[in-house]
Structure formats: C-alpha cells, structure tokens
Amino acid sequence: MIKVSKFSIFSKSAIILYFFIATILLFFTTDVTAKTISYSDPISYTVTTYEASTSSLEYLPTEILEPDGSSSYFRYKAVEGMSPKPDPAPVATIETKTVAKASKYETKLYIIDSGIKGPVVMIIGGVHGNEPAGYMAAAKVKNYNLKKGKLLVLPEANKLAIEAGRRYASGGSDLNRLFPQSKSASPKNILAKDIYNIIKDNNVDWLMDMHEGFDYYKNTATNSVGQTIIYYPANNAISTVEDIVKHLNNDIPKSLHKFTILRYPVQGSVARSSAEFLGVKSFIFETSMKQTLATRISLQEKAAQKLLSNLGML
C-alpha cells in the first residue's frame, strides 16, 4: 500500500516525481488492487493507480485527476507476477510416421496427441494378414478425438501379409513370433524391431493387439481362441480387462458367443514381450470369424472404446 503524507503545498511536478518512485516500488508488488487517494490542503489531487495481482507484460496506467477536472497519465510496464496472462489452450495434433522405412515392410503409424497429459495407448491391427476385422477396426480408431493422453495406432502392422490375404507373407515369418522372448533378446526383423522401439520410446502404458480366431473358444471341439481376451497377468491389467469383457458380454445373448478371459499371450508376441519386458499393460483381443465381418469390426471397436473410456481418454 502507498502511504501519502499531507503537505501544505503540492506541486504537480512533485506529485509526478512521487508516483514515479512509487511505480518503481510496484515492480516488487505481487498482490495489489486499484486504489484512489485524494490530496488537499491547499490544492486537491485525486490519484488512481490501476494494478493487478498475477502475471502479464501489460502496460498499466496511473491517472492523476487535477482540481480543474482534467487528467494526466503516466504508464509503467508491469513485471511478471502482476497482471493475469492465461495459459494457451492445449493443441491436439495428429502425426503420421513410417515404420520400417525403406524396407519392404513399410507401413504407417498414426500418433494422436490430445495435448493434455494422460495415458499413452497403442492399438495394433493387421499383425496377421488374414484377420481383417482387426486392421479395419484399427483404421477407424485412428480417427478418434481424445480428451487427454496420446493414442498410437498401427492399423496395418504387416502390410505385406494383408496384401497377400495370408497370416504372413510368402517367404516371410509369423510377425507375432518375432518379438523378444527374453530381456536380453532382440526383435528378429526390422518390422518387429521398429514396433518394439515405438512402444519403448513412447513409454506406452496400454497395448491392444487386434486379432481373430477361426471359431469360438467355447466350442471345445476346436482349439480356436476366438472371442477371448488374452492378457499378461501383471502390471494391474486385470480390472480393466474384466470391464471390457463385461461391457461386451452384456450385449451378447448366446453363451457360446460370449468372451472369455485367458492369461499369457504366446511367447514372441508383441503383447507378451511388451508386458513382460517393458512393463506395459497389454492384451490380445480375438473375435470369432464365425460372425459377420461387420459384427467383428464392431466388437473390436467397442473393446477399444471401452479401454480408452476407462482411461478417461474418450
């Protein structure tokens, strides 16, 4: 607060000098408000300083109201800590990167960043080229708008296999057996290496790998894993996996078609390696190919939406 003493004679120049000194002192003030001070005896001046309490680099005026009703001003530049300056609004971005660049395995990765801190989720489709619901659903997921966090989508992980319509391309290997099977091991080709490094470099929290089985898991006459979620039992993943299964099964009337939770993705799979060696909460999501393609795509997408919703990202 500025304390003003009364003098028998005030000159305009003295008042201005006084407020010049006061202005310098205001640079050290972090919580001030507007004040009006009147002077008299024998000449009356009314002085109002307009100040604020948080940070900015705005010019703030000081007004001197003279006895004849006229005003004069001088202005000082506020320092940080005095006038409000709102933080810029977060900006969402979508970035496209090439995986396994300059190789025959080249494919696109989509990174959707909300601009707001939150979980990092990766969703993969097309590891096996003859399981279309996964890569078709992933192509939809890459268009989601997020409330927070970051979403990495690799819709066509094994593009060569997708183009061939086969589990893996002619002359190639099963991509889902090429990831590390021990902490000291390395991925076995450039595509697996790039995918694994993306997971590691982006500190992925959750990974969903979209697949399909040829039948229903509950049809015990087959060895299919269709209609299952296969998760790695570590890293506190189970409660979210249970929520996804419950959410889906509520809309599936027939017991044979309901989802079942299984543990331990196969060794060499991206879900197993990322969970076991990178600490990612990960699972393989399998729909049954006994259903229509539209139904399978819908189930894949609903599972992805439930995961992201549980994390507060949708």
Q: Is residue 72 part of a domain?
A: yes
Q: Find the distance separating the first CA and the last CA of the chain, reported in whole Å.
A: 49
Measure the CA–CA gap between 313 and 238, rounded to whole angstroms: 19
**Which residues are bridge partners to 209 per DSSP?**
124, 284
69 and 199 part of one domain: no
- What confidence score (pLDDT) does residue 115 get? 97
Q: For residues 42 and 173, state if they share a domain.
A: no
Residue 131 inside a domain? The answer is: yes
Instruction: Tell me whether residue 234 is in a domain.
Output: yes
Same domain, 31 and 124: no
Identify whether 2 is part of a domain. no
Kindly list the distances between the CA atom of residue 302 and the CA atoms of 109, 125, 141, 205, 248, in Å, as whole numbers in the listed order: 21, 14, 10, 19, 7
| Tokens encoding 98 | 């090439």
Which of 27, 44, 77 lies at the terminal end of a domain, its last residue?
77
Residue 98 lies in a domain: yes
Does 101 lie in the same domain as 63?
Answer: no
Q: Which CATH number is 285's domain given?
A: 3.40.630.10
Q: Are residues 33 and 146 in the same domain?
A: no
Q: How far is CA 43 from CA 5, 12, 285, 301, in A?
A: 14, 10, 85, 79
Q: What is the pLDDT of residue 170?
A: 87
Domain hosting residue 142, numbered range: 93-310
Confidence at residue 256, expressed as pLDDT on a 0 to 100 scale: 98
At 198-240, the pLDDT tens digits run 999 999 999 999 999 999 999 999 999 999 999 999 989 999 9
Helices (H) and strands (E) in the chain, counts: 7, 12
Q: How many CA atoms lie within 13 A of 110 on its CB side?
A: 19
**Does 180 share its domain with 218?**
yes
Residue 104 lies in a domain: yes
Do the beta carbons of residue 249 and residue 218 sit within 8 Å? no
Specify whether 35 is located in the same domain as 157. Answer: no
Number of Cβ within 10 Å of residue 256's Cβ equals: 13
> End of a domain among 21, 51, 77?
77
Check residue 52 and give its pLDDT. Answer: 44
Instruction: Quote the pLDDT of residue 58.
Output: 44
Q: Residue 185 has what pLDDT?
A: 98
Examine residue 122 and state whether it is found in any structural domain, yes or no: yes
Write the Ramachandran bin of 100: left for phi over 0, alpha for psi from -120 to 50, otherwise beta: left
4 lies in a domain? no
Same domain, 115 and 40: no
Residue 164: enclosing H or E segment and its boundaries?
A: helix 159-164
Residues 110 and 22 in one domain: no
Spatial CB neighbours of 185, under 8 Å, sequence gap ≥ 6: none
Are 48 and 98 part of one and the same domain? Answer: no
Domain check: are 118 and 252 in the same one?
yes
Please tell me the predicted confidence (pLDDT) of residue 7.
Answer: 41
Amino acid letter, 10: F
- pLDDT of amino acid 188: 97
- The pLDDT of residue 12 is 55
Please provide residue 99's backbone torsions phi and psi, each rounded to the nearest 5 degrees.
-95, 140
The total number of structural domains that make up the chain: 2
Among residues 240, 230, 228, 234, which one has the least CA distance to residue 299?
A: 228
Residue of 262, 261, 286, 265 whose CA lies nearest to 274: 265
Residue 205 near residue 120, CB atoms below 8 Å: yes
Residues of the chain with pLDDT under 50: 1-10, 26-62, 64, 73-82
Residues 206 and 73 in one domain: no
Please give the pLDDT value at position 171: 86
